[in-house]
Structure 1
Amino acid sequence: MEISSESKSMKKETFYKFRDYIQGQIGISMPDAKKIMVESRLLRRLRALEISTYEEYAKYFFSPLGQKEEIPRFIECITTNKTDFFREVDHFNYLKSHVLPEIGNLEPRGEIRLWSAASSTGEEAYTMAMFLEEFIQENPNKSYKILATDISEKVLAEGQNAVYSLADSEPIPLNYKKKYCLLSKNKDEPTIRIKKDLRKKVLFKHINLITDSYKIKKLYHIIFLRNVMIYFNKEIQNKILSNLYTHLHPEGYLFLGHSENLPNSSLPFKRVGASIYVKKEKVINE
């Protein structure tokens, strides 16, 4: 179906409807300057649905049927799912040299729990797992579990499948690839897959970070929330941090992205490194 020339420009009132929905339900700030970006990303849904204008799409999206069927696809279009293996690797080096030995002492025979809170397609969570495997080999009385969450069901499914292109796998050191990855036999489109033993250590779960409750019972020793806060306004940032704080173990670590800082907050976090914070509270039994 030919897309109408009208679809190249979204009416302002239509953009404002989408903007209010995005900011209210997803939490992402959407100033007027993002209108072109929203148009570009939603254009693929117009084509897929054979709808000729943004106004038609808005009518469908906000209808009962659209709210039932279209929300996951809308979220996939609007959210940014940029991630890489070993991204901002100095965080993982700090994890290995400082955090894991310390947490290991807090949990001498217990389970170390990590949470990749905006996991996208799973590269961050599997990078965590590789570092934890190395740590466990030197500390065989320890164990670990990783929770990987995201708002997009599509990227969660991709992460659970754990198949990546060779280009995506380039940041993984060769010795780690040999230990933790399998190379496909398809020479035309070669891929790697994370080995089953590692995949079993990562639980993928759908969570919208701006909701009031995450329905998570356990406390986590390490939470990564990197390169996400920049998309939210201060109010949403503080709400997310408050929620994460309640799920972080006393003396647990919070990692933000290198371009992010902890917003002004009454929460007792102590900065211990570049975008690395510790929850300051007396250790208590769970």
Structure 2
Amino acid sequence: MIGHMGPLSERDHHRLAEFIDQAAGIQLPAHKRSLIESRLRKRLMVTGKDSFHQYLDWALMDSSEQVMLIDVLTTNKTDFFRESNHFSFLTEYLSQRLQNASLRRSHYRFWSAGCSTGEEPYTLAMVLENLKRDYPGFQYSIEATDIAPSVLDTARRGVYSHDLVQPISMVDRKRYLLRKKTRQVDLVKIAPELRHHIRFAPFNLITGNFSSMGEFDGIFCRNVMIYFSPAQREQIIEQFAAALSAGGLFFIGHSEGLSGRQFGFDSPMPTVYQKISS
């Protein structure tokens, strides 16, 4: 039946777009309709519904299916050491603070928001663990969140194919990756010494309670806000700014931009913002 199903109607596309915008801030314009149809078909196969209309009638009223619907419509793209200059900057910034007794603190907290399948928080953990080798008193923790349960499951497992870890230096691969022997594929697993610093949890940037997350020294939210409307983006950035400690860093993607002064930030380099100490 699914192979002969009609296209997603304009009315169904509109009500889906309205729901997903309010629930997750994801924009689904008309030119994405064929992409939407191909992703929805996955849920129709699983749930046994015969048409997009029938599926949406049910899914938009069922809270557990709404989670799966948001998951299937979320675009996830990430790599290890993506936009690597961010991590070089962070290393330099933290080194200076750790060398200065008046700036040094006992524990540093970071947030990887929109962490997808985990490459970003694990990259961050490698960078911070390397700093710990130079500064033995340095302690850190990472909150890694995403709206999509499927990518969080992958992130928690911390198992990746060998081709995905190519951006990681050989030194860090030897330190932090464990080989998983299987006949079919060459896999690696992230070492426990990194994993125990990271807590993976669901978080919705549109409806989530930011104050429940606490205060951070650094927040990564890269290539996530491009999916939101300007008003949603502004609201999210304001909440990230409030969650940063004075002098804390906010990293965004290279395809994104913001007026730093508007939100109380200086910009020491493009796409890196530092909260101005009040």
TM (norm. structure 2) is: 0.94
Runs of 5+ unmatched residues, structure 1: none
Deviations 1:178-228 (A, max 9, x none): 100100111322211001111000011111011252353531111011011
Indicate the residue corresponding to 1:85 in structure 2. Answer: 80
Query: 1: CA distance between counterparts of 2:89 and 2:51?
Result: 50
Please give the residue correspondences for 1:127-142 in structure 2 after superposition, counting only pairs within 5 Å: 127-142=123-138
CA distance 1:147–1:235, change in 2 (3 Å): same
Contact 2:260–2:267 under 8 Å retained in 1: no
How many Å separate the matches in 1 of 2:251 and 2:94? Answer: 14
C-alpha contact 1:148 1:203 (8 A) present in aligned 2: yes
**Matches of 1:3 and 1:49 in 2, distance apart?**
12
**CA positional deviation for 1:6:** 2.9
Aligned residues of 2:80 and 2:123 also touching (Cα < 8 A):
yes
Stretches of 4+ moved more than 4 A in 1? none
Give the match's secondary structure for 1:70. helix
Backbone CA RMSD of aligned residues: 1.6
- Correspondence for 1:29: 27
CA distance in 1, matches of 2:129, 2:228: 33
Q: Which moved more, 1:143-152 or 1:71-80?
A: 71-80
How far apart are residue 54 of structure 1 and its match?
A: 0.5
**Which stretch shows the higher mean deviation, 181-190 or 105-114?**
105-114
Partners in 1 of 2:252 and 2:50 — Cα distance?
Answer: 41
Q: Using the alignment, how far apart are the partners of 2:143 and 2:206 within structure 1?
A: 17
Opposite residue 100 of structure 1, the aligned amino acid is L
Q: Deviations over 1:106-125 (max 9, x none)?
A: 65241111111110111000
Matching residue of 1:59: 57
Match of 1:100 in 2: 94
Match of 2:71 among 68, 73, 76: 76
1:249 matched to 2:245? The reply is yes
Using the alignment, how far apart are the partners of 2:43 and 2:213 within structure 1?
37
Distance apart, 1:102 and its partner CA: 3.7
Cα deviation, residue 274, structure 1: 1.7
Q: Is the 8 A contact 1:14 1:55 kept in 2?
A: yes
| Local SS of the residue matching 2:2 | coil
Cα shift readout 1:215-256 (whole Å, capped 9, x = no counterpart): 535311110110111111110000100111111111100000
User: What is residue 120 of structure 1 aligned with on the other side?
Assistant: 116
The one-letter amino acid paired with 1:79 is T
The answer on whether the counterparts of 1:269 and 1:278 sit within 8 Å (CA) in structure 2 is yes
Q: Contact 2:260/2:266 (CA < 8 Å) preserved in 1?
A: no
1:226, 1:255 within 8 Å by CA — same for their partners in 2? yes
Q: Identify the residue that residue 6 of structure 1 maps to in structure 2.
A: 5
Q: CA deviation at 1:4?
A: 4.7
Could you say which residue in structure 1 is the equivalent of 2:167? 171
**1:115 alignment partner, SS class:** strand
Correspondence 1:230 to 2:226: yes
Q: Give the CA deviation at 1:141.
A: 1.4
Q: Partner letter of residue 19 of structure 1? A: A
Match of 1:44 in 2: 42
Q: In the alignment, what sits opposite 1:278?
A: 274
Distance in 2, matches of 1:47 and 1:153, equals: 19
Over 3 Å counting, the alpha-carbon distance change for 1:229 and 1:221 in structure 2 is same
Q: Would you say the 8 A contact 2:241–2:264 is kept in 1?
A: no
Partner amino acid for 2:94?
Answer: L
Residue 184 (structure 1) aligned to one of 169, 173, 180:
180
Match of 2:204 in 1: 208
- 1:12 counterpart letter in structure 2: E
Deviates more, 1:252-261 or 1:40-49: 40-49
Corresponding letter in the other structure for 1:43: R
Q: Partner of 1:55: helix, strand, or coil?
A: helix
TM-score of the superposed pair, with normalisation by structure 1: 0.92
